[in-house]
Amino acid sequence: MAKRPLTLLVSSAGRRVGLIECFRRSAADLGIQLHVTACDAAPDLSAACQAADSSFRVPPCHHPEFIETVADAARRREIRLIVPTIDPELRPYALAAAEFNRSGTRVHVSDTAVIDVARDKLETMRVLGDAGVPTPRTARLDDVRKSPRDWVGLLLLKPRGGSASRLVSVVERPEDLPESESEPMIVQEYLDGPEFTVNMFIDRHGALKCVVPHRRLQIRAGEVEKGRTERHPALADIAGRIARALPEARGALCFQVIDDTIRGPEVIELNARFGGGYPLAHHAGAPFCQWLLEEVSDVPGTAHDDWREGVLMLRYDAAVFQG
């Protein structure tokens, strides 16, 4: 077992206290002395930054000095692992991952090719569809407006590069679609059925090791508030197809599926990072955090797919107090 202290950075930490707790439990199980630091544009107002052992301020992730600020902190604080938590910071980290690695810091991020697919919902549907992954028909808003008669029934309108259910709406018919857009938008066929999030772990060699679906029983602000793990062979098969379609994917990823009552399960979203509902998979016996710490610490990997079905997560609001 690794005895050397290990410093972990949770980036754009926000409210991800649950993720920090998962890493701490995993480190304790491995006998690793873990120091958790966190960064955010407003660390004084971040619950996760307050829950971490230390924290520091960074510019917004789109700022040209964001990576430089993190890299300086990584050198000074001897950070061994960086875990990004929001979509907009994935590409900057992916572009800088090799430089971080040369300095002894691993960034938990997939290759830029994977990020570019995941961050573009239209490209996500194209790449996955070409790989045989079931997906709903998807097109640019402008293209649908040009040929509205080619589309029937309810439609889903969403930003091409959005996240957290931002600006997502249901449209009853093509004629009701907006005539203008403040940002690139896409249209998808509306699917009707239970929704699942599927957490998947791909090891550093590119092997898919674990697939944990959970049924999204209740959702708030785009994240699962109540969920239950459920073994679903069709979703495990889809995860395998996604892994083959994105051979440069690494670590924790998640995708969302609607199991349509007529057409069966189809993928509607892909996130190349820890999902907000990951703690459910962790508590069900799939500790992705532990497996990442094993890789960083160069100890034998224990990744597996032997997790518990029927584990229920009921989230609630908590608070961090100061002063």
Same domain, 83 and 160: no
Same domain, 104 and 155: no
Burial grade of 85 (CB within 10 A; 0-12, 13-18, 19 or more): buried
Rounded average pLDDT over 76-103:
97
Q: Are strands 208-220 and 195-202 parallel, antiparallel or unpaired?
A: antiparallel
Among 148, 223, 136, smallest CA distance to 178 is for: 148
Q: CA–CA separation, 305 vs 208, rounded Å?
A: 10
Q: Is residue 132 part of a domain?
A: no
Given this model, what pLDDT does residue 25 score? 98
Same domain, 184 and 70: no
pLDDT band (50, 70, 90) for residue 2: very low
Q: Is residue 285 part of a domain?
A: yes
Given this model, what pLDDT does residue 288 score? 98
Same domain, 169 and 202: no
Q: In what order do the strands lie in the sheet with 251-260?
A: 264-271, 251-260, 195-202, 208-220, 223-229, 312-314
Give the range of the structural domain holding residue 278, as residue numbers without chain letter: 115-119+192-314
* Top-confidence residue, 73 or 320: 73
Q: CA–CA separation, 133 vs 20, rounded Å?
A: 33
Q: CB count, 10 Å around CB of 20?
A: 23
pLDDT at 3 over 60: no
pLDDT at 4 over 80: no
Tokens in use for 321?
């107090």
Element (H, E) at 144: helix 141-146
Among 69, 74, 72, 36, smallest CA distance to 55 is for: 36
Q: CB count, 10 Å around CB of 263?
A: 14
pTM comes to: 0.94
Same domain, 307 and 245: yes
Quick: pLDDT tens for 43-62.
999 999 999 999 999 999 99
Q: Give the sign of the dihedral formed by CA 304, CA 287, CA 296, CA 64.
A: positive
Per the prediction, the chain carries an average pLDDT of 94
Quick: pLDDT tens for 9-44.
999 999 999 999 999 999 999 999 999 999 999 999
Judge contact between 161 and 151, C-beta under 8 A: no
Same domain, 200 and 234: yes
Given this model, what pLDDT does residue 1 score? 42
3-class DSSP state for residue 110? coil
Same domain, 174 and 72: no
Q: Is residue 263 part of a domain?
A: yes
Q: Total domain count for the chain?
A: 3
Given this model, what pLDDT does residue 265 score? 98
pLDDT at 294 over 50: yes
Given this model, what pLDDT does residue 165 score? 61
Same domain, 30 and 90: yes
Quick: pLDDT tens for 114-162.
999 999 999 999 999 999 999 999 999 999 988 888 898 899 999 998 6
Rounded average pLDDT over 245-269:
97
